[in-house]
Amino acid sequence: MQRKIWNPPFSLSVLGFTLLGITLCVLVMSASVNAQLPDDAMEIVRERQLTPDDIKAALATYTPTGRHDEYVMFTSGGHSGQVIVIGMPSMRILKVIAVFTPDPWQGYGYGVKDAPLDASNPGVTVDGQTLTWADTHHPALSETEGDYDGQYLFINDKANGRVATIDLRDFETKQIIKNPVALNDHGATMVTPNTEYVIEGLQYAMPLGNEYAPISEYKSKYRGLMTFWKFDRERGRIDEDQSFAIELPPYWQDLADAGKLSSDGWIFCGSFNSEMATGGVEDGNPPFEAGTAERDMDYLHLINWRRAEQAFKDGKVEKIKDFPVITLETAVAEGILYLTPEPKSPHGVDVSPSGNYIVVSGKLDPHVTVYHINKIEKAIVDKDYEGLDDYGVPILSFDAVLEKQIEVGLGPLHTQFDNQGYAYTSLFLDSAVARWTLGPDAKYKAPERPWRLIQQLPVHYNIGHLVTAEGDTVEPDGKYLVALNKWAVDRFLNVGPLLPQNLQLVDISDTGDNMGLLYDLPLGIGEPHYAQIIKADKLSAWEIYPEVGWDSINQQKHPKAAEKGSIKRDGNTVEISMTAIRSHYEPEIVEVNKGDKIILHLTSLERTYDATHGFALPAYNITASVEAGETVTLDFVADKAGVFSFYCTEFCSALHLEMAGYFLVKP
């Protein structure tokens, strides 16, 4: 698996470098730079032992200072609980968005009132336990008519069954909600084509509402769940009051995708424990890994979300923990839920850009299995069932809905699409990306050789998800693909037994078997699972907040914003309006009594791009960030007597160190 360095013997090497020189000239000319490759550049090529492919990759990704990237990738941060923003093709990290985990730099989770990580938020403090981390898996960009609109980003917390909303006007988390019925999730988040709903799927079946039931009552008491969170675009919030869930059989529902265009209105969701195995290796039972893989087929779930929405609106729900849930019985009676077989231990399910093809990968099957939406809908109309499952859910006949099975390689997981009629499937066991042709599809010129494996590109190593530019939309861009590899092994310098993930940028602009690696990005802050790539010009984040005194949590003028400093006492409550501008706070001296309740509104008067100030109050575990124009409120009790020097944590000006003050707490 060692990378071959191009290091020919001397005589060959002269020829090689001549060829290399020609290649370089061609490359340089194609970039319409009218220059010979300078000798010192050739010297670098020789010294660093670069191959022509290396040089091509370097030229394709190197981004000179001040030049901006063409695409932006949002990748989940795995157990860091954050989202990482990466420019492409440079693969430079632009930002880590704090989502479920406190972050001092962003002043997130360290005292700012009403921020999503405020302990008073029921999405954060659950049953008295404040959660300070998450296992983020699947980011989803908001869509309009099936295309990314650049407005919002959603991401789930697999560990605790939570969903967060990020506003892309300022790249800040605005909302964290806890699913009241489900402990965990996985096949989420993803959105319906107009972001009507953000979908969250439970992974490990459980007694809904977090009740207790012994594992021996698995079949009768444990259930799966899919939750439909209604998104209120105007408010930029998920509206919990308009949301509902559907009870599912206890099959360990996994990845899901929303239908689009021809399949709009459907949700497709795989599952991998239709055996309903209950583990117990310590008692001599088969472990889950074997128990869940006994049958040759599991069930793809087909959920009609418009019918589900109608049933919810008609009140055909039961309340679990006060949350409306459509029961399995209702789901069957109302034609909301169907099943169809899918090969052994499936993982990914992905809908092609036209909406016609639904691609499923079975981890233990070397094929991808492709269904056609027309066949699915016909089988439902014809009641072409091969039976009912234990819960009365109709199982559509596999032969009736199957379009094609294509052998792509070992351990297929996830599939993405481009604008040339190709599909790309990650091969975990083969450590490769398979490129294959879709069948005839109105959206693209029909491939000359449909349903064929075209190329397997080795990646390093153990690829999980892959993502293409806008690959989840009705209009993918092609051009780039990123392989999110679980193992890095020998790709980077040894940093101890815990290794970074390796995100590899792949050029998919060419047709045929011409995919090539461009760049390796090590990410050492948790395990990214999935990502979304959007054209950078679809994003239009603010440079500064719209006006001085902006409440970024609610995206409106802060009711307590003030452009002058003041201290007001009312009994034991001290309300302070503090301003910040280069390079001082006003007021600078604040004197209170031990036990006073402090409400501090901190307003940045700055109107300059990138003029950020911070506010650190030692011993009180408080740190805030105020970007230009922002007002934040800190709310705490002065329960420690003493002299506390507060100061600005951003090097904002030459006199940044002078931007300080004293918070005096009289005993």
Alpha carbon distance 29, 256 (integer Å): 46
Nearer to ligand CUK, 174 or 465 (CB): 465
Q: Which does 375 bind (CB under 5 to 8 A by kind): ligand CUA, ligand CUK, none?
A: none
Give the type of residue at 25.
Answer: C
Nearer to ligand CUA, 338 or 585 (CB): 585
Give CA 298 to chain center in angstroms: 26
> Closest-CB residue for ligand CUK?
529
In the complex, minimum distance from the CB of residue 68 to ligand CUK, in angstroms, rounded to a whole number: 29
Nearer to ligand CUA, 125 or 583 (CB): 583
Nearer to ligand CUA, 247 or 650 (CB): 650
Alpha carbon distance 568, 304 (integer Å): 57
In three-state secondary structure terms, 657 is: helix
Contact residues for ligand CUA (CB under 6 A)? 583, 613, 648, 650-652, 656, 659
Q: In this structure, is the dihedral angle defined by the CA atoms of residues 281, 284, 288 and 289, taken in order, positive or negative?
A: positive
In three-state secondary structure terms, 21 is: helix
In the complex, minimum distance from the CB of residue 609 to ligand CUA, in angstroms, rounded to a whole number: 15
Alpha carbon distance 422, 427 (integer Å): 16
Nearer to ligand CUK, 460 or 558 (CB): 460
In the complex, minimum distance from the CB of residue 535 to ligand CUA, in angstroms, rounded to a whole number: 35
Q: Which does 115 bind (CB under 5 to 8 A by kind): ligand CUK, ligand CUA, none?
A: none
In three-state secondary structure terms, 301 is: strand
Q: 225: Cβ–Cβ under 8 A, 6 or more apart, which residues?
A: 181, 182, 201, 202, 208, 245, 246, 247, 248, 253, 325
Q: Which does 148 bind (CB under 5 to 8 A by kind): ligand CUK, ligand CUA, none?
A: none
DSSP 262: G
Nearer to ligand CUK, 138 or 162 (CB): 138
Give the type of residue at 387.
Answer: G
In the complex, minimum distance from the CB of residue 651 to ligand CUA, in angstroms, rounded to a whole number: 6
In the complex, minimum distance from the CB of residue 429 to ligand CUA, in angstroms, rounded to a whole number: 52
Nearer to ligand CUA, 58 or 660 (CB): 660
Nearer to ligand CUK, 112 or 506 (CB): 506
* Six-digit token string for 14: 């002269």
Q: Which does 613 bind (CB under 5 to 8 A by kind): ligand CUA, ligand CUK, none?
A: ligand CUA
In the complex, minimum distance from the CB of residue 426 to ligand CUK, in angstroms, rounded to a whole number: 8
* Six-digit token string for 533: 């790539």
In the complex, minimum distance from the CB of residue 84 to ligand CUK, in angstroms, rounded to a whole number: 15
Contact residues for ligand CUK (CB under 6 A)? 137-138, 186, 255, 347, 413-414, 464-465, 529-530
Nearer to ligand CUA, 100 or 646 (CB): 646
Q: Which does 320 bind (CB under 5 to 8 A by kind): ligand CUK, ligand CUA, none?
A: none
Q: Checking DSSP bridges between strand 190-191 and strand 197-201, what pairing results, if any? A: antiparallel
CA angle (426 as vertex; 420, 427 as ends), nearest 5? 130
In the complex, minimum distance from the CB of residue 197 to ligand CUA, in angstroms, rounded to a whole number: 42
In the complex, minimum distance from the CB of residue 650 to ligand CUA, in angstroms, rounded to a whole number: 5
CB 272 within 8 A of CB 257: no
Q: Which does 464 bind (CB under 5 to 8 A by kind): ligand CUK, ligand CUA, none?
A: ligand CUK
Residues across the chain = 667
Q: Which does 648 bind (CB under 5 to 8 A by kind): ligand CUA, ligand CUK, none?
A: ligand CUA
Nearer to ligand CUK, 375 or 529 (CB): 529
Q: In this structure, is the dihedral angle defined by the CA atoms of residues 51, 55, 60 and 61, taken in order, positive or negative?
A: positive
In the complex, minimum distance from the CB of residue 201 to ligand CUK, in angstroms, rounded to a whole number: 11
* Six-digit token string for 622: 């408080």
SS3 assignment for 350-371: EECCCCCEEEEEECCCCEEEEE
Is the bond preceding 528 in cis, omega lying within 30 degrees of 0? no
Q: Which does 180 bind (CB under 5 to 8 A by kind): ligand CUA, ligand CUK, none?
A: none
